């Protein structure tokens, strides 16, 4: 793991400057495309290319079960995880529809589903059949956490070799708003009540039970907030660890990687704790309806591009963000310059 992390560099600041120079040459007022220009400059810096190719897109969906489900923190049982994973292969879920709409491929990964979900369209990266119950002890061993993280890193490398230029991050696993809340509380130090939400729609009683379970998990496991691997191994899930690996893989392989919602953000938080430079490669998609989202954006110092009150997960926010990214690069690549338009170029005014 240490040798992998040593490969991570800051994004290319010279390419960021070059991209800004091109943006300023386009026939428009300086900075008039707002945050779209920031997005373009960031991606050019990530890829080290003035005209990066990001047409081929993938959304990685890490799928895993969580032992904490036995504490009654969800409306449904863990069998739903396997059912939804198989529906991914049928192309009928939310992420399937939205990914098709934006021209992205869905990469389904079994990293810890507690069932046999063997299928030609599912990547088998299973660590084991679900994690242990975090309210009784660690979710996994440190070695298992590292294996899951490395799986994510390697998957990004495989996708880059296949010609993908940008990756979104999604997940599926009943109970993973509980584990992601525990991870977020452990690293940020924010209170449980402001971080733990209703997930898929818990009652007041269910929400209280879920918060109590997260408190108990943190008290029993005592994760080290400075050690992302320790945190995810003690109170996280295989899906979160795998996605953390994807975020690290984005930095290793110099690919832009889009954050989805709250659970994806928890994984990004783990990655940034392991190696802070990974944050430069992350593009936030949307402001999830989960209550802890604002706290995580503040902590990571990131600003989402969309605010739609979504909380589906699966990478659906990434699919919508891909439309915005495509629009930004369409303007960047195909707008005429001041020279083309025979217009005097704008200059910065003091």
Q: Which of 112, 45, 51 is nearest to 251 (CA)?
A: 45
Tokens found for residue 313: 């997960």
Q: How many helices (H) and strands (E) does the chain have?
A: 15, 6
Catalytic residue among 71, 171, 290, 314: 314
Strand 104-112 to 122-124 pairing: parallel
For the question of residue 275 being annotated catalytic, the response is no
Quote the strand ranges of 174-288, DSSP E. Answer: 257-259, 282-284
Give how far Cα 151 sits from Cα of 1, 125, 194, Å: 11, 7, 32
Distance CA 211, CA 207 (A): 6
Quote the strand ranges of the chain, DSSP E. Answer: 57-64, 104-112, 122-124, 166-172, 257-259, 282-284
Q: What angle do CA 199, 190, 59 make, to 5 degrees?
A: 45
Catalogue the active-site residues: 314
């Amino acid at each position: 793991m240490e040798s992998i992390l040593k490969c991570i560099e800051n994004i290319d600041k010279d390419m960021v400057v070059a991209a800004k120079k091109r943006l300023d040459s386009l026939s428009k007022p300086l900075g008039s495309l707002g945050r779209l220009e920031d997005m373009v400059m960031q991606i050019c810096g990530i890829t080290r290319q003035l005209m990066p190719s990001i047409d081929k897109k993938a959304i990685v969906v890490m799928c895993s079960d969580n032992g904490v489900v036995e504490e009654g923190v969800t409306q449904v049982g863990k069998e739903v995880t396997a059912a939804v994973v198989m529906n991914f292969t049928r192309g009928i879920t939310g992420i399937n529809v939205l990914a098709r709409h934006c021209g992205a491929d869905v990469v389904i990964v079994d990293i810890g589903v507690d069932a046999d979900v063997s299928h030609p369209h599912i990547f088998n990266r299973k660590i084991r059949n679900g994690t242990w119950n975090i309210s009784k002890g660690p979710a996994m061993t440190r070695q298992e956490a590292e294996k899951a993280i490395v799986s994510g890193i390697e998957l990004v490398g495989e996708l880059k070799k296949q010609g993908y230029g940008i990756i979104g991050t999604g997940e599926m696993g009943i109970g993973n708003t509980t584990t992601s809340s525990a991870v977020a509380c452990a690293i940020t130090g924010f209170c449980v009540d402001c971080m733990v939400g209703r997930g898929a729609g818990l009652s007041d009683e269910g929400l209280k039970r879920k918060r109590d379970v997260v408190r108990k998990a943190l008290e029993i496991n005592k994760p080290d907030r400075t050690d992302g691997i320790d945190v995810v191994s003690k109170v996280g899930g295989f899906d979160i660890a795998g996605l953390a690996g994807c975020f690290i893989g984005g930095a290793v392989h110099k690919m832009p990687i889009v954050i989805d919602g709250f659970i994806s953000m928890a994984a990004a938080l783990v990655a940034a704790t392991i190696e802070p430079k990974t944050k430069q490669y992350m593009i936030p998609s949307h402001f999830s309806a989960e209550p802890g989202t604002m706290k995580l954006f503040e902590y990571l110092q990131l600003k989402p591009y969309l605010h739609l009150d979504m909380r589906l997960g699966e990478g659906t926010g990434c699919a919508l963000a891909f439309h915005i990214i495509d629009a930004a690069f369409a303007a960047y690549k195909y707008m005429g310059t001041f020279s083309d338009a025979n217009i005097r170029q704008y200059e910065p005014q003091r």
